[in-house]
Amino acid sequence: MKIRVRIKTVNLRNIEFLIEEAFTGIVRNGLMAFASISTIALSLAVLGAFVLAMMGANHFTTEQIDRFEIAVFTVPGAAKAKADALADSIRKIEGIKDVSILDRDEEYAKFKRERPDFESAGLLGNPLPYALRVRIVKADQLTMLSTKIRALADVDHVNVGQETYKRVVALANAIRAISFAGVIILLITTAFIISNAIRLTLYARRREIRIMQLVGATNHTIRTPLVIEGIVFGSAGALVAWILLRLGGGYVVHSAQRITPMFGSFSSGLSGAGLAFWLLLAGAVIGAIGSLVSIRRFLKD
């Protein structure tokens, strides 16, 4: 009972001392701190770059899928009123984002510009039916909605680009699966590299840990500053990784956009602050767990 009371008193009084010990340790073991922080920074930067690239790829493919539209053509000779009525009917279907009727004359002018031979064939008037551009909410409902539209009155033809759509969806699914597996593997590898870096830092200080034990420091007194150190190393590494990713990521996306304008919309969808938050969280958690696990080995009496 007497010992229990003593431990409690030490805990409360020593918080300041333990934090002080952690920062003194970091400053006095500068080289090891640098080695740890740079290893953590590079590991997190590689992990972060991979996650961002995968998020970007997912975002990009999802966006491409969302761009799929359904083209609906009225029966030849249908009047504008019928096209309007058809548009209204389509809008009522659940899952439709919006419907627009293309300007028939404008489309014909465009067609004539592209195929001047039709003009020479002596066609009279505008032979084109009304065309409706239908955008949907969920890309995976494309087939189902096109079937419903096809069943409506005055619909002559519905074009969904089914084959292209299927290929893009398959590609998106493959990217998702690969990125998920990749992130898991890279996460395990990063955790392993970081905990090894921390273990090496502690190994270099094993003599110090031993002396602490011999002067009567409890495991708690030895462990706490070292865990704080691990959190500081992890967070500092995350901060460096964030800077690397912001600078490097911006450059890569900018270059890609210059080469292929299609990548104009390439973005992970994660803000700078969001990225910093997740990196700091990952760094701090991996740092704390890495330290805790590594210290256990040195504290075995």
Residue 239, class by beta-carbon neighbours within 10 Å (0-12 exposed, 13-18 middle, 19+ buried)? middle
In the chain, at which residue ranges do the beta strands (DSSP E only) sit?
69-74, 96-101, 131-136, 155-159
261 part of the interface to other proteins, by CB under 8 A: no
Long-range contacts formed by 292-296: CB under 8 A, 24+ apart: 292/223, 292/227, 292/230, 293/195, 294/195, 294/198, 294/199, 294/202, 295/202, 295/209, 295/222, 295/223, 295/226, 295/227
Nearer Cβ to other proteins, position 15 or 170? 15
- Segment interacting with other proteins (CB under 8 A) among 37-45, 105-113, 211-219, 253-261: 211-219
Cβ proximity to other proteins: between 26 and 83 the closer is 26
CB of 13 to other proteins, least distance (A): 5
Contact range with other proteins by CB under 8 A, out of 2-10, 75-83, 194-202, 252-260? 2-10
The number of residues that bind other proteins (CB under 8 A) is 26
Selected binder of other proteins within 123, 146, 160, 218 (CB under 8 A) = 218
Instruction: Say whether residue 126 binds other proteins (CB under 8 A).
Output: no
List, in order, residues 6 or more apart from 286 with CB less than 8 Å away: 40, 190, 191, 194, 195, 234
Using the minimum distance from each CB to other proteins, give the nearer residue, 94 or 301.
301
208 lies in the binding site for other proteins (CB under 8 A) = yes
CA 217/CA 21 separation, integer angstroms: 13
Instruction: Give the C-alpha separation, 91 to 134, whole Å.
Output: 9
Binding mask 19-38 for other proteins (x = CB under 8 A): -----xx--xx---------
How near is the Cβ of 37 to other proteins at its closest, in Å? 18
Stretch that binds other proteins, among 37-45, 57-65, 171-179, 218-226 (CB under 8 A): 218-226
Q: Which stretch binds other proteins (CB under 8 A): 7-15, 90-98, 140-148, 187-195?
A: 7-15
Structure tokens at 245: 């990713």
Contact footprint for other proteins (CB under 8 A): 2-3, 6, 9-10, 13-14, 17, 24-25, 28-29, 207-208, 210-219, 221, 301
